[in-house]
Homo-oligomer: A and B are copies of this chain.
Amino acid sequence: MVTLHDFLPSGNGYKCRLLLRFLGAPFTLKEYDILKGETRTPEFLDRLNANGRIPVLELEDGRCLSESGAILNYLGAGTPFLPDDDWTRAKVLQWMFFEQYTLEPSVAVRRFWLTEQTEPLSEIQQAQLPAKLDQGHAALGVLERGLAAGPWLVGDGPTIADIALYGYTHVAPEGGYDLDAYPNVTGWIGRFREIPGYVPITRRDFA
């Protein structure tokens, strides 16, 4: 059985938990508190991820894989969540890189600063809030446009691209983003929650 090293409020960890649940795959969940530096210990850095971040997927033989996008592709291969066609896989990756590079650094970072961070915001963080709000809305606009053509981002059914984008988009209001202006996005969030196996982001009964 695989082990998922995780922090429950993390949208990146949540994406991996969601796919495991959708696939009905058993897994052991090991929790870390990133706010207490539990992913920066020498043991974590040496054995699990030199970059000091969750999620990390550990296979039974001890091999470790980090980066939620890589984990989703690895677990999704051979399942309906990652159709085995070169163009489809490429479009799935397009959305996943867009999410990590453009949507996450605005939408997820504002949420983290405003709801997770325990110390007060620094002056530099405060100063970045307006620009991150604008950047996040621009990213949400791209997502809205991407969902105009069909119910899911790529192809006829939900893929790991939808999982990757859902992770932080559905909690964007926690970062101060009003989603009312994005009807395609809110409709898609509703459909996503109907996928069998769905669980909300911080429920503890995953494994």
Contact = CB atoms under 8 A, between A and B. Distances in A.
Place the interface of chain A in its size category: 35 or more
Contact of A101 (B100, B131, B142): B100
Interface string A132-144: 0000000100100
A176 interface: no
| Complex copy number for this chain | 2
A100 B94 CA distance: 12
Interface string A51-94: 10000000000010111111101100100000000110111011
Find the residue from A63, A100, A105 having the highest chain B CB count within 10 A: A100
Interface of A: 50-51, 63, 65-71, 73-74, 77, 86-87, 89-91, 93-94, 96-98, 100-102, 104-105, 123-124, 127-128, 131, 139, 142, 145-146
